[in-house]
Amino acid sequence: MLYSRLLLAVGLLVATRAKAADPIRVASPNGAIEVTVHLDAQGRPSYAVRYGRADILRPSRLGLVLASADLTQRLKLVRADRVTAVADQYQLATDKRASCTYRANRRVLHFAGPAGGPQLDIEFQVSNDGVALRYVVTGKSPDAQRITAEKTTFSLPAGAKGWLHPHAKAGTGWAKTQPSYEEYYQQGVAAGTASPFGEGWSFPALFQVGGHWLLLTEAGMGRAYCGSHLAHQSPGGEYSVAFAQAPEGTTPTATVLPKGRLPLRSPWRVLVVGSTLAPVVESTLTTDLSAPATTAVQLSAAGRSSWSWVLLGDKNTTYDVQRRFIDYAARMGWEYCLVDALWDTQIGYDKIAELAQYARTKKVGLLVWYNSNGHWNEAPQTPLNKLFDPASRRAEFARLRQMGVTGVKIDFFGGDGQSFMNYYQDLLTDAAQAGLLVNFHGATIPRGWNRTYPNLVSMESVRGFEFLTFDQANTDQEPTHCATLPFTRNAVGPMDFTPMAFSEITGRQRRTSNAFELALSVVFQSGIQHYAETDEGMARQPAYVQEFLRQLPPRWADVRLLDGFPGQYAVLARQAPDGRWFVAGINATDQPKTIQLDLSKLGLKAGALITDGDTNRSFSTKPVAGAGLSLTLPARGGFVVQPQ
């Protein structure tokens, strides 16, 4: 502190000293978004966000409470650094965009807390598509510091509406597997509505604020923090950050709340902002704000996969059926086949090794399922109790790689506590060292880890297709749910919904058309896209449908939202690495929906349209050419356009 004062005295300090009453501002590079920070007379910091002339957030609170200090009040502004430009460019194989460019204006505010205690820096980065803020606790204490509460709030203007995912109570649900982010989004609820389970709302949370849109989430999760969500109560539309619940640790005594040595960094609080929904769907802020890969192993491989379990169940995790599904993947030109739970008892390690070698002769990678659990769930599916202990995990991963297995699907995690944030990253690190891809199920949301750990190909964190097989109520919800996810869950990272079934579900009446299901292969994005349809069901489809699914690229280069509204309909275009655009749309409503498209904006001059036939279980196709395309989708119908 003395050194800083000396620098100020001689005019060498590049930062500026601000009075407590003076607002501090930082704007996006294009000037459309502006953040204003204020410190009141009681030393309480707050911030507000404007987009053009519109208030996106009213003055909202900032600060952290530590076990050793309250860094939410009686703070003094030491200095506000000058605004600096941030520029980053990187490549991703498993997300919505392959080549990502991030440009933002950055400003760091330095606050002094209690004398001799920890100090608080607040970092703001404002890009053309949103705002990010995070905390850095600094000081000289050699002891680990514990954060007991975060006081960040998001105060929405009057009249705001939300598309919100209820956060589950820890240790509830089937076999105590909650929270696993597997609820339905509530549609257009008034801001300030209390959550139904008493535990708040999950990230990502979507709001309509006047004529603008706001998506809240978090990114850049390190090892010294827990996952968070929005609190149960939000009086007057002011949402606050809530930490993981007490049971959400990897052991009964494991760390749940944030704890670490100084400097201790929080994840980024991310606000994606736009006058339309396009920035929400197209933004890459979740990975922009996450750390680049630091390990020497740069393993990543996107693709498509066959999968028997969702329609055929546990009893078909057998050698003969899985060999059949390897052949299915090979016929379709897909890169993977997933063998789900119980393979260790119903097939065995030796025969899995045989399947893996057979798959390689077909140019198909074999993926196998694991139960994550230590103490935290009661799910009986095996293999279990193999991965939590580090020595056991590394030995198991090494064995799999020697067998020729390509990757693992790990299921049934136990929450968002800090110890779980570390467990996820330990799994990714050890899997990368063994040369294995990873897919997390029954898991927390993506927070940009697929940039930091390129072997992370996907995460579930969604009420996926499997729920349609459980009861008719879930099946009835599918259209609305699917039309909500592009604007919410899938907007923040790859999503293993496991879409697309043309076959009937035993004992259920599917509400969506076959063309709706086909469209999900493009509307939804996952690093590895696991298709629900079986080999026999695929064989019954028209040749042009099968060919479309062969032609889909294993990964995407870019995405554009063409039209849509949460819960009602969605039309997206995704670009193949060779530059061609695939277009798909779904109508979730009970009435026909007419959609007008200008394909020339994509440079798409001609293609093949596949949409609903005479019934919702049939297809029709025709060539399309020229700029304009007018489509009337039937209730719960869909379409795709395959470029030529």
Q: Is the pLDDT of residue 21 over 80?
A: no
Taking Cα atoms as reference points, which of 468, 470, 475, 448 lies closest to residue 459? 448
What total number of domains does the chain contain?
Answer: 2
The reply to whether 365 falls in a domain is: no
Beta-carbon contacts of residue 348 (< 8 Å; ≥ 6 apart): none
Q: Write down the H helix ranges in 579-640.
A: none
Stretch (H or E) spanning 438 = strand 437-440
Q: What is the mean pLDDT of residues 403-407?
A: 98
| Single-letter code of the amino acid located at 628 | G
Q: Which among 288, 319, 345 is the end of a domain?
A: 288
Dihedral over Cα of 525, 446, 232, 476: its sign: positive
Quick one: tokens of 598?
């200008």
Q: Collapsing DSSP states into helix, strand and coil, what is residue 571?
A: strand
Q: How far apart are CA 596 and CA 604, in angstroms?
A: 15
Are 177 and 168 in contact by the 8 Å Cβ rule? The answer is no
> Could you give the angle at the alpha carbon of 36 between the alpha carbons of 33 and 42, nearest 5°?
160
> What is the per-residue pLDDT across 101-156, written as a single tens digit (0 to 9) for each?
999 999 999 999 988 899 999 999 999 999 999 999 999 989 999 999 999 999 99
Q: How far apart are CA 322 and CA 314, in angstroms?
A: 12
Q: What is the CATH number of the domain that holds 148?
A: 2.70.98.10
* Residue 472: domain span: 462-526+550-644
Q: Collapsing DSSP states into helix, strand and coil, what is residue 292?
A: coil
Beta-carbon contacts of residue 492 (< 8 Å; ≥ 6 apart): 203, 204, 215, 217, 219, 286, 445, 446, 447
> What is the per-residue pLDDT across 539-566, written as a single tens digit (0 to 9) for each?
999 999 999 999 999 999 999 999 999 9
The reply to whether 212 falls in a domain is: yes
pLDDT range class, residue 375, cuts 50, 70, 90: confident
Q: Is the pLDDT of residue 20 over 60?
A: no
Are 486 and 584 in contact by the 8 Å Cβ rule? The answer is no
> What is the per-residue pLDDT across 79-93, written as a single tens digit (0 to 9) for each?
999 999 999 999 999
- State the average pLDDT for the chain: 95
Q: Is the pLDDT of residue 319 over 50?
A: yes
The reply to whether 311 falls in a domain is: no
Q: What is the CATH number of the domain that holds 508?
A: 3.20.20.70
Q: Is the pLDDT of residue 297 over 80?
A: no
The reply to whether 337 falls in a domain is: no
Are 277 and 568 in contact by the 8 Å Cβ rule? The answer is no
- CA torsion 299-303-308-314 (nearest 10°) is 30
Residue-level length of the chain = 644
Q: Write down the H helix ranges in 333-441.
A: 343-346, 349-361, 390-403, 418-433
> What is the per-residue pLDDT across 457-501, written as a single tens digit (0 to 9) for each?
999 999 999 999 999 999 999 999 999 999 999 999 999 999 999
| Residue 300: predicted pLDDT | 72
Beta-carbon contacts of residue 315 (< 8 Å; ≥ 6 apart): none
The reply to whether 368 falls in a domain is: no
- 222-234 CB burial, b ≥16 within 10 A, e <16: bebbbbbbbbbeb
Read off φ and ψ for residue 205, nearest 5 degrees.
Answer: -125, 125
| Residue 298: predicted pLDDT | 61
Q: How far apart are CA 91 and CA 348, in angstroms?
A: 38
> What is the per-residue pLDDT across 585-601, written as a single tens digit (0 to 9) for each?
999 999 999 999 999 89
Beta pairing class for 437-440 and 407-411: parallel
Taking Cα atoms as reference points, which of 396, 410, 403 lies closest to residue 352? 403
The reply to whether 578 falls in a domain is: yes
Q: Which among 288, 307, 333 is the end of a domain?
A: 288
> What is the per-residue pLDDT across 216-270, written as a single tens digit (0 to 9) for each?
999 999 999 999 999 999 999 999 999 999 999 999 999 999 999 999 999 999 9
Beta-carbon contacts of residue 483 (< 8 Å; ≥ 6 apart): 564, 566, 567, 568, 569, 570, 586, 587, 588
Q: Is the pLDDT of residue 4 over 70?
A: no
Question: Could you give the residue numbers annotated as active site?
Answer: 411, 466
Q: How far apart are CA 487 and CA 317, in angstroms?
A: 34
Quick one: tokens of 68?
């050793």
Q: Is the pLDDT of residue 374 over 80?
A: no
Residue 509: CB atoms within 10 A of its CB come to 9
Q: What's the distance, Cα to Cα, between the start and end of the chain in Å?
A: 65
Burial of 256 by CB count in 10 Å (0-12 exposed, 13-18 middle, 19+ buried)?
A: buried
Residue 294: CB atoms within 10 A of its CB come to 8
Residue 126: CB atoms within 10 A of its CB come to 28
The reply to whether 390 falls in a domain is: no
The reply to whether 87 falls in a domain is: yes
Q: Which among 288, 321, 341 is the end of a domain?
A: 288
| Residue 483: predicted pLDDT | 99
How would DSSP label each residue in 225-289? Answer: ---EEE-S--GGGEEEEEEPPTT-SSSTTS--S-EESSSEEPPEEEEEEESSSHHHHH--HHHHT
Q: How far apart are CA 569 and CA 277, in angstroms?
A: 12
| Residue 627: predicted pLDDT | 81
